[in-house]
A and B are shown apart, each in its own frame.
Chain A
Amino acid sequence: MEGFYSAVSLVVVVPLIGMLINLFFGKKLGEKGAGFIAVSASAFAFVVALILWATLVDQHYEPAIVNAPLIHSWISIPSAGIDIPWQFRVDTLSVTMMLVVTGVGTLIHIYATGYMHGDERFPRFFVYLNLFLVFMLILVTGNNLLVMFVGWEGVGLCSFLLIGFWFDKPGKHPTEGTVGWANSNAARKAFIVNRIGDFGLLMGIFLTFWTFGTLDYYKPHEVIHLEHDEAPPPVFAVEGAEGEHAGEEAAHVESGSEIHGIFTQAELWFEEGNHKVTFGSIDLDFDAVITLITLFFLLGATGKSAQIPLFVWLPDAMAGPTPVSALIHAATMVTAGIYMMVRSNSFFYNSDLTSFVVTIIGISTALAAGFMALGQWDIKKVLAYSTVSQLGFMVAAVGLGAYAAAMFHLVTHAFFKALLFLGSGSVIHAMEHGHHHAHEHGHDEHGDEHDEHAEHETHEEHETHTHHDDHEFDPQDMRNMGGLRHKMGLTYLTYLVGGLALAGIFPFAGFWSKDEIIADAFTVGFDEGELKGYLAIAVLLAAAAMTAFYTWRQICLVFFGKPRTAAAEHAPESSALMTTPLAILAIGTFLIGFIINAPKGFPLFGWLFGEHRFTLFLEESVIHAHAGSFNWFMAILATGIALAMIGIADSIYRKPMPIPMEKDPLETGQYQPLFALSNAKLYWDEAYFKYIVYPFQGAARFLANTIDWDFWHNFFHDRIIGQGFQGAADVISQPIDRQVVDKGFMSLATGVLAAGSRLRKTQTGYVRTYALSLMMGALLVIVIILLPTLRDLLGI
């Protein structure tokens, strides 16, 4: 059975092969072929992940390290002390992530073959999607931070490509009217914001390397080590070495066996207590260095997992096709930050300051994003802010030291949020079709609109949904929906399951995982008396209340009431390709919470399905994971709050809305300011633009226009040199001038001026400016080089 560990390279390689096939032959294969290849690649990877899981169980959860084929000695310069091999790590944490990524991924692949049907870039979409799988799996399988970083950047790239996938789709706002700008801007925003986070992660990696001299999580001798295509490393190989080098190599073995991976080493140093790390002339306490590293890691996580202050890209990222939102921006990629922090739990657990900061960031994100979700009109935007908020729950759990709870919520969230996104995609898809249908058959409820767009419509065939749709009708706006319950039964049912799970209603998945986080917060607060625990309870309960509210608001607006537009009136149920994954995910969402991790002390379920199985599973690789106990008080309180909020939302939104609907019921009453604030997303983006983006652009412009051009060329060259020195020039040159050339002072001055203006026109004139700059640079270098000596000389 041991041999099955090495199958882990297949998890990465198979989607890669799928991607390559679609890249080169996608167009020839056509929709069916390309879709089949992509889905089977993903499904195969899922099967491999299952095999790995079985192997782990069989091997008593013993982690293993597997050398990657071909590129094993990835970056290696022995003389410079760099050795960063490409190794896979198979342990319970990475296998959990693999199962989520490939499992949910496969369902979304299947769904996407239905959703993207008729798109002109169908094969390209699946190339990107498989490529994303490759990178995401590299991210979770790697055994060192640099491999993880490769995946980290790779998924960022795929996210960028997929957000901007419909770059030719027109923007929603009149200001974004030009073709393509809205979506490509969203893609660019995501990428650039993520670069800020990546910068943090990279700095963290550099610091880690500096501190530990390696980037490997664990060294091969700390776990089962499996060869792939190379002889074993010297640690094992030279045990009985003979000959003249024997002594030397024996020494090597001894020192080699003492090298630990970063996490083992960190635990050892924490136990030791007084380890110092040398940075040039400064010695820092190990604690302080770890705090610094974890803070940098946190910055990375806030980028990728969309936390305050870097969450702004995720809502905009909804510009991408809906399967992308489900897979990348809800279920998998955005959880990379959580995975990274859980993976580094040895670091985070031991740094109190960072843990506190992590908690604060998590809970404030959960609250702020929950609030922003209350006032959105776009069906996907609501889900986007909900995702940010739920990620905040997970980050808070990490901060509270509840690593198992964070991972548990990550898994359940992957299910129910993927379900909700796919459900929303089904709704959007239906709305688009309903819109076309209504216009084809002359249902003229919006007469003016119809006339205006009749021309557009004739160009477009009914079947293909090219996304060059008209500007005014927004199939994602919930105001245009209503009453879909009767039109799309299956979508409605599954959406209801997802919504209840999100709201944390018993016995759906969200209930178990969210309550575990809140119970852990309770333990940290009331049992251990830590401030972050009290804060977390209060804020997370408030966030959970908002979650229930906006979830129910959405379900009411979309599915209840009467259809508010012709499109909603004619919305058809989606094809089986799309609804089957919905059904599977809904069943999963219903079951997964109590099946894999029923809490201790919960009647019946614990006895039926085993207590804390998932947590125990994780404990094998996450050192500081621990199972909390079920907290009846908090569970009932949280569920009570959620039910109450659903009731309130029901009373507001379950009644008939005006047609056409323009305002929210809350927008007219005394809550109008609050709603406006939520609808405007707390003016977060505006603030960023005002205080960061514009000043940054200004600085760039300043450097280019003012420093380089105005100052250097115009001011320095023309003003200072041309005019400022002109007086001096005249004075100095006058006596010499009279002797050599019989010209007067005035004519020289005018000559200089005329030449100056001529000079500005001819580029050639600038050569001497260049030469002068060279001379001044020379002076600068000489002065810097002489400075120490001169200082020495003058005794300063």
Chain B
Amino acid sequence: MEITWQTIAFAAFAVMTLGGGLMVVISRNLWHSALFLMLSFFGTSGLFVLLVAPFLAAVQVLVYIGAIAILVLFAIMLTRRMMGLEETQNTQWPAAAAVAVILFIILVITVSPLVDEKAVTDIFGDKVANFNANLPVDPDAKDSGVVANQDLNIVTVEAIGEALVTRDGFVLPFELASILLTAALIGAIVVAREDEA
């Protein structure tokens, strides 16, 4: 594997994403957890950039960091008691961790065609690697270890917008999503409103 700027950037973003995620889980302070979550989100958006998906990257920053993470921070600040909370009451996390690890291993095998084929062969043996090869991914791109190949359409905002409203696209789900948001909005009002009684 030759070292290019892409590889270095990928490594940096990967560390950001995974490290941030790990710290979210093990940090004893909710406030810190929330901040680490933002870091992890940021790493993800970096990965999107590397995958030549600038729109997704932007959305990731705007929605997840700009809106969701900030919302989480607000929520933590508003519930003051949780700010000072420094011990978790979770006794079952080792079991959860075990389940998570097993699931993780399964998923790694699942997505392994996106990873270097040789690495899979080294770890899991011939059969597994062959078995999962040839996903609809361009074969040339495999060596680079990162799927960023020229044949994939670079997804522009325009393309996404078009897909959302053309009739052979996602016009119905798009419309439905707005209904869904309305329903969620009403729900939020119901939950948040003071009782008039």
Listed in ascending order, the chain A residues whose CB lies under 8 Å from chain B are 717, 720-722, 725-726, 728-729, 732-733, 736-737, 740-741, 743, 748, 751-752, 755-756, 758-759, 765, 768-769, 771-772, 775-776, 778-779, 782, 786, 793-794
Q: Show 25 A/B contacts (Cβ-Cβ < 8 Å), sorted by A.
A: A721-B92, A721-B94, A722-B91, A725-B91, A728-B94, A729-B93, A729-B94, A740-B26, A740-B27, A740-B29, A741-B29, A741-B86, A743-B87, A748-B87, A755-B89, A755-B90, A756-B89, A759-B91, A768-B96, A769-B92, A771-B96, A772-B96, A779-B102, A793-B127, A793-B131
Residue among B86, B89, B91, B128 facing the most chain A CB atoms (10 A cut-off): B91
Residues of A within 8 A of B28 (CB): 737, 740-741
B99 within 8 A of A: yes
The answer to whether A721 touches B87 (Cβ under 8 A) is no
The answer to whether B91 touches A752 (Cβ under 8 A) is yes
Q: Which residue from chain A places its CB closest to the CB of B96 in the assembled complex?
A: A772
B172 within 8 A of A: no
The answer to whether A772 touches B95 (Cβ under 8 A) is yes
The answer to whether B87 touches A755 (Cβ under 8 A) is yes
CA of A736 to CA of B90, assembled, Å: 16
Is the contact region of chain A dominated by helix, strand, or loop, or is it mixed? helix
The answer to whether A755 touches B95 (Cβ under 8 A) is no
CA of A751 to CA of B91, assembled, Å: 10
CA of A776 to CA of B96, assembled, Å: 9
The answer to whether A765 touches B96 (Cβ under 8 A) is no
Residues of B within 8 A of A782 (CB): 103, 106
Residues of B within 8 A of A720 (CB): 95
The answer to whether B91 touches A736 (Cβ under 8 A) is no
The answer to whether B95 touches A721 (Cβ under 8 A) is yes
From A737, A768, A779, B90 is in contact (CB under 8 Å) with: A768
Residues of A within 8 A of B106 (CB): 782, 786
- Since A740-B32, A752-B91 are in contact, a sample of 8 more A-B pairs with Cβ atoms closer than 8 Å, ordered by chain A residue number, is A721-B91, A726-B91, A733-B26, A740-B29, A755-B91, A769-B92, A775-B96, A775-B103
CA of A289 to CA of B86, assembled, Å: 70
The answer to whether B94 touches A732 (Cβ under 8 A) is yes
Interface residues of B in 129-172 (CB under 8 A from A): 131
The answer to whether B127 touches A779 (Cβ under 8 A) is no
CA of A768 to CA of B29, assembled, Å: 19
Residues of A within 8 A of B90 (CB): 755, 768
CA of A722 to CA of B127, assembled, Å: 40
The answer to whether A775 touches B94 (Cβ under 8 A) is no
Residues of A within 8 A of B93 (CB): 729
Q: Which residue from chain B places its CB closest to the CB of A736 in the assembled complex?
A: B26
The 5 nearest A-B residue pairs measured at CB: A755-B89, A725-B94, A721-B92, A741-B28, A722-B91
Residue among A720, A726, A793 facing the most chain B CB atoms (10 A cut-off): A793
User: Shortest Cβ distance from B7 into chain A, in angstroms?
Assistant: 29
Residue among B88, B89, B96 facing the most chain A CB atoms (10 A cut-off): B89
Residues of B within 8 A of A775 (CB): 96, 99-100, 103
User: Shortest Cβ distance from A253 into chain B, in angstroms?
Assistant: 48
Q: A748-B87, A751-B87 are in contact. Are A768 and B92 (CB under 8 A)?
A: yes
Residues of B within 8 A of A737 (CB): 28
CA of A725 to CA of B94, assembled, Å: 6
Interface residues of B in 16-37 (CB under 8 A from A): 26-29, 32
User: Shortest Cβ distance from B20 into chain A, in angstroms?
Assistant: 14
Residues of B within 8 A of A786 (CB): 106
From A729, A756, A772, B99 is in contact (CB under 8 Å) with: A772
Residues of B within 8 A of A771 (CB): 96
Q: Which residue from chain A places its CB closest to the CB of B92 in the assembled complex?
A: A721
CA of A776 to CA of B102, assembled, Å: 10
Binary CB contact string for chain B from 91 to 120 against chain A (1 if under 8 A, 0 otherwise): 111111001101100100000000000000
User: Shortest Cβ distance from B75 into chain A, in angstroms?
Assistant: 17
The answer to whether A722 touches B92 (Cβ under 8 A) is yes
Residues of B within 8 A of A778 (CB): 103
Q: Which residue from chain B places its CB closest to the CB of A756 in the assembled complex?
A: B91
The answer to whether B94 touches A743 (Cβ under 8 A) is no
Residues of B within 8 A of A721 (CB): 91-92, 94-95
From B92, B96, B131, A717 is in contact (CB under 8 Å) with: B92
User: Shortest Cβ distance from B70 into chain A, in angstroms?
Assistant: 24
User: Shortest Cβ distance from B124 into chain A, in angstroms?
Assistant: 10
Q: A741-B86, A772-B96, A793-B127 are in contact. Are A779 and B91 (CB under 8 A)?
A: no
Residues of B within 8 A of A741 (CB): 28-29, 86
User: Shortest Cβ distance from A673 into chain B, in angstroms?
Assistant: 62
User: Shortest Cβ distance from B113 into chain A, in angstroms?
Assistant: 15
Q: Which residue from chain A places its CB closest to the CB of B93 in the assembled complex?
A: A729
Residues of A within 8 A of B128 (CB): 793
CA of A758 to CA of B106, assembled, Å: 35
CA of A720 to CA of B96, assembled, Å: 12
CA of A776 to CA of B95, assembled, Å: 10
CA of A720 to CA of B92, assembled, Å: 9
Residues of B within 8 A of A769 (CB): 92
Q: Which residue from chain A places its CB closest to the CB of B23 in the assembled complex?
A: A740
The answer to whether B99 touches A779 (Cβ under 8 A) is yes
Residues of A within 8 A of B99 (CB): 772, 775-776, 779
Residues of B within 8 A of A768 (CB): 90, 92, 96
Residues of A within 8 A of B131 (CB): 793
Residues of B within 8 A of A717 (CB): 92
CA of A618 to CA of B150, assembled, Å: 88
The answer to whether B86 touches A725 (Cβ under 8 A) is no
User: Shortest Cβ distance from A764 into chain B, in angstroms?
Assistant: 10
Residue among A720, A725, A728, A765 facing the most chain B CB atoms (10 A cut-off): A725
Q: Which residue from chain A places its CB closest to the CB of B107 in the assembled complex?
A: A782
User: Shortest Cβ distance from A720 into chain B, in angstroms?
Assistant: 8
User: Shortest Cβ distance from B127 into chain A, in angstroms?
Assistant: 6
Q: Which residue from chain A places its CB closest to the CB of B90 in the assembled complex?
A: A768
Q: A736-B26, A740-B26, A793-B131 are in contact. Are A725 and B87 (CB under 8 A)?
A: no
User: Shortest Cβ distance from A155 into chain B, in angstroms?
Assistant: 51
Q: Which residue from chain A places its CB closest to the CB of B86 in the assembled complex?
A: A741
Q: Which residue from chain A places its CB closest to the CB of B98 in the assembled complex?
A: A725
From A729, A732, A776, A794, B91 is in contact (CB under 8 Å) with: A729
Q: Which residue from chain A places its CB closest to the CB of B103 in the assembled complex?
A: A779
CA of A722 to CA of B88, assembled, Å: 13
Residues of B within 8 A of A779 (CB): 99, 102-103
Residue among A722, A728, A775, A794 facing the most chain B CB atoms (10 A cut-off): A775
From B86, B102, B127, A743 is in contact (CB under 8 Å) with: B86
CA of A733 to CA of B106, assembled, Å: 25
Residue among B88, B90, B93, B95 facing the most chain A CB atoms (10 A cut-off): B95
User: Shortest Cβ distance from B144 into chain A, in angstroms?
Assistant: 28
Residues of A within 8 A of B94 (CB): 721, 725, 728-729, 732
User: Shortest Cβ distance from A22 into chain B, in angstroms?
Assistant: 49
Residue among B26, B93, B94, B127 facing the most chain A CB atoms (10 A cut-off): B94
User: Shortest Cβ distance from A357 into chain B, in angstroms?
Assistant: 52
Residues of A within 8 A of B103 (CB): 775, 778-779, 782
CA of A726 to CA of B88, assembled, Å: 13
Residues of A within 8 A of B87 (CB): 743, 748, 751, 755
User: Shortest Cβ distance from B83 into chain A, in angstroms?
Assistant: 14
CA of A779 to CA of B102, assembled, Å: 8
CA of A693 to CA of B3, assembled, Å: 74
CA of A752 to CA of B95, assembled, Å: 15
CA of A769 to CA of B92, assembled, Å: 8
Q: Which residue from chain B places its CB closest to the CB of A751 in the assembled complex?
A: B87
Residues of B within 8 A of A772 (CB): 92, 95-96, 99
CA of A719 to CA of B131, assembled, Å: 42
Q: Which residue from chain B places its CB closest to the CB of A782 in the assembled complex?
A: B106
User: Shortest Cβ distance from B120 into chain A, in angstroms?
Assistant: 13
The answer to whether B127 touches A725 (Cβ under 8 A) is no
Q: Which residue from chain A places its CB closest to the CB of B91 in the assembled complex?
A: A722
CA of A793 to CA of B130, assembled, Å: 11
Residues of A within 8 A of B102 (CB): 779
User: Shortest Cβ distance from A772 into chain B, in angstroms?
Assistant: 6
User: Shortest Cβ distance from A788 into chain B, in angstroms?
Assistant: 13
User: Shortest Cβ distance from A385 into chain B, in angstroms?
Assistant: 59
CA of A752 to CA of B92, assembled, Å: 10
